[in-house]
Amino acid sequence: MPQWKDDTKPHGPIKMNNGWTVEVDANACIGAAPCTAMAPNTFALNDDGKAGVLATLDQDDQEIILNAARSCPVAAIIIKDETGKVIFPE
Residues in contact with 58: Cβ distance below 8 Å, sequence separation at least 6, in sequence order: 16, 17, 18
Domain that residue 22 falls in = 14-88
72 domain-assigned: yes
57 domain-assigned: yes
pTM (2 d.p.): 0.94
Domain of 66, CATH number, reads 3.30.70.20
Residue 85: Cβ-neighbour burial (10 angstroms; 0-12, 13-18, 19+): exposed
64 domain-assigned: yes
Q: Are residues 12 and 53 in contact, defined by beta-carbon separation less than 8 angstroms?
A: yes
Residue 65: CB atoms within 10 A of its CB come to 27
1 domain-assigned: no
State the pLDDT at residue 69.
98
Reported residue count of the chain is: 90
4 domain-assigned: no
45 domain-assigned: yes
State the pLDDT at residue 87.
96
pLDDT tens digits, the chain, 90 residues: what are they?
689 999 999 999 999 999 999 999 999 999 999 999 999 999 999 999 999 999 999 999 999 999 999 999 999 999 999 999 999 998
Look at the chain and report how many structural domains it folds into: 1
State the pLDDT at residue 90.
87
Rounded to whole angstroms, how far apart are CA atoms 69 and 77? 5
9 domain-assigned: no
